[in-house]
């Protein structure tokens, strides 16, 4: 799959998977990884969103620590490696790196249309992008730690869609209620809870994959990003 190099605000050369769409009117989408790097699941996701009519750019956010991370979440040692990489990440720095992807699209004349979409860690970073930069919309799939980010009062931010798994062990019920209450304060922050679903319910082939929920989330996401 084709990679390009983005130059960040501090001059770092950041690799990014680029998956263009065959659609002439493709909309730009910054795709944000889980804690497992740009692995097979993220490459499949990039291809799937490109097939839906998006020009996809997925930065390698672990490149500052280790370039080319490709982990299998079913392997306990690799799972722990992903956690260690996440803990070693400066998330504010990661958001600025993601802004290099937004600006790459802007330099290609599509700045006002850039959306962001992420899973797990990426779901958290997508919300951070919505709160801090001029993107058209953000989508968070089972984002973690959102209760720490979301304002407790109405604020100016990009429209942001939340997909939340009811049985997500990383988002216990009391945390979920905080997230839902704070989402309701914002003008455009719809939040959907997927009953009976666990974390990563939209990752094909994953332990908790739920095709029905994934299809519903896809339908909602497409309507939101294209709206």
Q: Which residues are catalytic?
A: 168, 199
Q: CA dihedral in degrees (82, 87, 91, 97; nearest 10)?
A: -40
Of 45, 42, 46, 51, whose CA–CA distance to 21 is shortest?
51
Q: Residue 24 corresponds to which tokens in the numbers above?
A: 């002439």
Place of tokens 């304002």: 151
Angle between helices 91-107 and 121-132 (to 10 degrees): 70
Q: Residue 54 corresponds to which tokens in the numbers above?
A: 């998006």
Place of tokens 């600025």: 96
CA dist., res. 69 & res. 86, Å (int): 12
């Amino acid at each position: 799959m084709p990679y390009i190099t983005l130059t960040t605000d501090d001059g770092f050369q950041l690799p990014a998977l680029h998956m263009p769409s065959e659609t002439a009117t493709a909309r730009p989408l910054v795709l944000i990884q889980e804690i497992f790097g740009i692995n097979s699941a993220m490459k499949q996701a990039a291809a799937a969103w490109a097939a839906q009519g998006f020009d996809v750019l997925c930065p390698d956010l672990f490149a500052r620590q280790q370039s080319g991370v490709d982990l299998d979440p079913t392997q306990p040692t690799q799972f722990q490696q992903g956690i260690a990489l996440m803990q070693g990440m400066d998330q504010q720095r990661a958001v600025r790196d993601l802004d290099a992807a937004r600006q790459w699209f802007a330099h290609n004349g599509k700045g006002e249309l850039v959306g962001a979409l992420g899973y797990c860690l990426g779901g958290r970073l997508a919300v951070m992008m919505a709160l801090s930069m001029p993107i058209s919309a953000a989508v968070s799939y089972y984002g973690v730690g959102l209760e720490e980010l979301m304002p407790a009062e109405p604020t100016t931010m990009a429209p942001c869609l939340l997909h939340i798994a009811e049985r997500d062990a990383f988002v216990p019920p009391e945390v979920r209620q905080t997230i839902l209450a704070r989402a309701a304060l914002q003008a455009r922050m719809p939040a959907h809870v997927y009953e009976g679903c666990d974390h990563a319910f939209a990752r094909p082939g994953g332990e908790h994959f739920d095709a029905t929920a994934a299809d519903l989330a896809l339908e909602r996401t497409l309507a939101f990003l294209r709206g």
